[in-house]
Amino acid sequence: MEARRDWAYESATSSAAGDSVSNSESENKQRDRKIADNEANRVAVSGVRVSSWAIGVAVIAGVIAFGIVWAWMHR
């Protein structure tokens, strides 16, 4: 309960100073920027992971096709 009372006190002193709204807005903007940056990094990593799998599957399919064609030509 002590922490809650401190929070109420800080809120009351901040609003008395008149900067509570601007501080919370700037904190929200900063938090939103950090979230957007994290999301962009996650999307980039996911894209690289999907591309790696696609390249791997394409290489394996190419090796199999080459093997079939080579075996067909040298029978």
The helix (H) or strand (E) run that includes residue 16 is: helix 2-17
Residue 1 lies in a domain: no
Residue 64 lies in a domain: yes
Indicate the pLDDT class of residue 69, thresholds 50, 70 and 90.
Answer: very high
Residue 8 lies in a domain: no
> For the whole model, what pTM was predicted?
0.47
Quickly tell me which residue has 């040298």 as its tokens: 74
Domains held by the chain: number: 1
pLDDT above 50 (res 1): no
Q: Kindly state the tokens that stand for 57.
A: 């599957």
Chain mean pLDDT for the chain: 80
Comparing 58 with 41, which gets the higher pLDDT?
58
pLDDT average, residue stretch 12-29: 68
Residue 59 lies in a domain: yes
pLDDT at 8: 54
Longest alpha-carbon distance in the chain? 90
